A and B are shown apart, each in its own frame.
Chain A
Amino acid sequence: MLLVRRWQRLRPASNLRVDQGVRTASLESVQQQADDVLVKMENPYKQPQRGCILCNLNVDYKNTQFISPHSGRIYGRHLTGLCGRKQKEVSKAIKKAQALGFMPVTHKHPQFMKDPNICSTKRLE
């Protein structure tokens, strides 16, 4: 009886292993935890990809206004902030509209001067 009780007491002590093999115990426990927790999934905190402002809009030669008010030059990608496809579509549409006689070439139509400033150009004062 006493011997059995001693075994019982010894077992929990051996499981603890506080003094000697601390590092090995922690590694094993970490590996066990890793197998449990690390499930392969996509980053749940991933933010949805933000598109450019014209992403879902249809660009037509009849409604384009991304040119400079002074010289009429088309703004580059770093100013308009559009993605590759849309920038190309917009510049093509501008060229088309200018050729057809819908949009002025050397300046911006005064009707559109009061549009909200989408392009990040610093106004020279």
Chain B
Amino acid sequence: MPRYELALILKAMQRPETAAALRRTVETLMERGAVVRDLENLGERLLPYKMTKHNQRHSRGSYFLVDFYAAPSILNGLLDHLHRDVDVVRPTVLKKDEQVSTSTTTCCGAPQSKNKSSIFK
């Protein structure tokens, strides 16, 4: 099954409410047949720009990262559900690519500078 990553931004809430929201999200995932692999907390911080969601203006948010395995057919339904959740500010599902370092052979090197003697000064 392909691996996905859910970059979740939750509203800045108290700890029990955040825990409840996370629990709800993970349970939704598991109900739809996803296997949750990892849940990371990237902390609560100031959002890079103010976001408006569910008629509320958010300046702070808590960032979470959920790694999971899932069938591609559930993603639409899942995103729909997350958009409707009031506590979620911005949900995004990304595919996780297995980045093997294939760059050893194909990297062409730094572009040749004409006038500058060195780029790093």
Contacts and interface: CB of A to CB of B under 8 A. Distances in A.
B119 A101 contact: no
A101 B90 contact: yes
B7 interface: yes
Interface string A59-96: 00100000000000000011001111110000000001
B110 A81 contact: yes
A29 B115 CA distance: 45
Contact of A51 (B90, B92, B109, B119): B109
A12 to B, nearest CB: 57
A87 to B, nearest CB: 9
B12 interface: no
Contact of B106 (A50, A77, A85, A96): A85
Interface of B: 7, 9, 47-49, 51, 61, 63, 89-90, 92, 94, 99, 101, 103-104, 106-111, 113, 116, 119-121
Interface of A: 49-52, 55-56, 58, 61, 77-78, 81-86, 96, 98-106, 109, 118, 120
10 contacts: A50-B109, A51-B107, A55-B103, A58-B101, A81-B120, A83-B111, A84-B111, A100-B7, A101-B90, A105-B48
